[in-house]
Structure 1
């Protein structure tokens, strides 16, 4: 069992939800995010409900790449080892390209891909030194095809993260490392990033979605759609349907 779980972007949404699910299982938690007041509140709630669970929280802006390496190492020193890192921090700002919202699109690109790269690098340095660990990247069903409007850059970053994760896995196969890596592709799970989106098909609530995420992560798959139904089928179709049909999901 992976005892110590590090989750980025843990102050809200899927990160917070996964932390709560892991606390129920008695796992120790290394939680980081920009909003430390929310992390402290989460830590307090977990301490009251699950007093045997060790929770450490640290401030981290994942776009401060040096801080990513420093915070991950501090967690490792505090816990003795980190057994799983969930690269979860992200954002969904943006608009159609050419409409004057480059500032928002580039923020999403930097946070969802470049900062994720830093997190993967920092996690793998620790895992290689420990000779064990499980790296989990939270991609998206939107990674499978190009998407319109506000989803264009978001989908592109998640596609990049998916390819990055597979490249890491290729390296691990080549070196015969015991480190595991999984790419998780959530479908529509209600969270802070999409709370204003209405009438979305197949949307599940945060708790249901996070239970499914943790269940999938525990299997340590190469890749998983979450929830499995209907997103495994939708993913299969998305890769094959004409783009004008696929774009209706965006």
Structure 2
């Protein structure tokens, strides 16, 4: 079992939900996010329900790239090693290009891609030294194609991190370091809580349980939940763009 798991963006949404699921499976957890008061609340909850696990917390703004390396190394020192690192922290903001919201699109791009690159660098530094580990990249089903309107930048960043993960996987072929790219479908979380009447949306607990089951299998790629996102993902890659554009 990958005993110790590091999750970024663990104070809310999918990160918080995955922490609960992994804790229930007996994993030790290294949790980081900007909102440390929410991490403290989560730690109290997790230890009350799972008193035999260890939970370590640190503040992390993933846009502070030096801090990313410092925090990952500190967690490694806390536990002696880190077995799995889940690159989860991200933003869902964005507006159609050319409408005056470059600042929002830029922040989404920097948070979802450049900060993810920093997290991968820090993770692989640890895994290469250990000659073991499991890197998990949380992408999105929207990465399957270019998406319209508010999703344009977000989808592009998620496609970017998927390509980044595949490149890392190619670089590590034959080595005992696994790389998984996870494509969540519509899972209710704080990032989309204002979006109403979305088809195929599942609640946070159901979605995070499916995410953790997929991650534990350590696949190269997985769409989660499998139904309907495996067939829908295939369709998105092959349908005419005018049809895909209606999905955004």
Q: Which TM-score applies when normalising by structure 2?
A: 0.99
Structure 1 residue 248 displacement after superposition: 2.1
Equivalent positions of 1:82-97 (< 5 A) are 82-97=82-97
Q: Distance in 1 between matches of 2:40 and 2:246?
A: 39
What secondary structure sits across from 1:194 in the alignment?
coil
Alignment map for 1:16-35 (pairs within 5 Å): 16-35=16-35
Counterpart in the other structure of 2:61: 61
Query: Between Structure 1 and Structure 2, how many residues are aligned?
Result: 248
The answer to whether structure 1 residue 183 and structure 2 residue 181 are counterparts is yes
Partner of 1:238: 236
In structure 2, the partner of 1:41 is 41
Secondary structure of the equivalent of 1:57?
A: strand
Shift of 1:55: 0.3
CA shift, 1:94, in A, is: 1.0
Question: SS of the residue aligned with 2:172?
Answer: helix
Does residue 1:202 correspond to 2:209, yes or no? no
Report the Cα offset of residue 244 of structure 1: 1.5
Unpaired runs of at least 5, structure 2: none
Cα distance in 1, alignment partners of residues 247 and 140 from structure 2? 12
Provide the residue aligned with 2:11 in structure 1.
Answer: 11
Residue 149 of structure 2 aligns to a residue whose secondary structure is coil
Alignment match, 2:100: 100
TM-score normalized by the length of structure 1: 0.98
Cross-structure match for 1:119: 119
Q: For residues 52-80 of structure 1, what are the alpha-carbon distances to aligned partners after superposition, in whole Å with 9 as ceiling and x for unaligned?
A: 11000100000000000000000000000
Tell me, what secondary structure is at the counterpart of 2:191? helix
Query: What SS is found at the alignment partner of 2:209?
Result: helix
- The Cα offsets for residues 91-140 of structure 1, whole Å up to 9 and x where unpaired, read as 01110000000000000000000000000010000000011000000000
Cα deviation, residue 249, structure 1? 2.0
Q: Which runs of 4+ in 1 moved over 3 A?
A: none
Match of 1:221 in 2: 219
Indicate the SS of the match to 2:198. Answer: coil
Tell me the SS of whatever aligns to 1:85. Answer: strand
Q: Which residue of 1 aligns with 2:166?
A: 166
Q: Distance in 2 between matches of 1:244 and 1:86?
A: 34
Distance in 2 between residues matched to 1:238 and 1:94, nearest whole Å:
21
Task: Supply the distance in 2 between the matched residues of 1:189 and 1:157 (Cα, whole angstroms).
Answer: 18
Q: How large is the RMSD of aligned CA atoms in angstroms?
A: 0.5
Once residues 224 and 247 of structure 2 are traced to their aligned partners in structure 1, the CA distance between those partners, rounded to angstroms, is: 16
Give the superposition deviation at 1:246: 1.0
Q: Between 46-55 and 32-41, report the one with greater CA deviation.
A: 46-55
Which 5+ residue runs of structure 1 have no aligned equivalent? none
2:72 is the counterpart of 1:72: yes
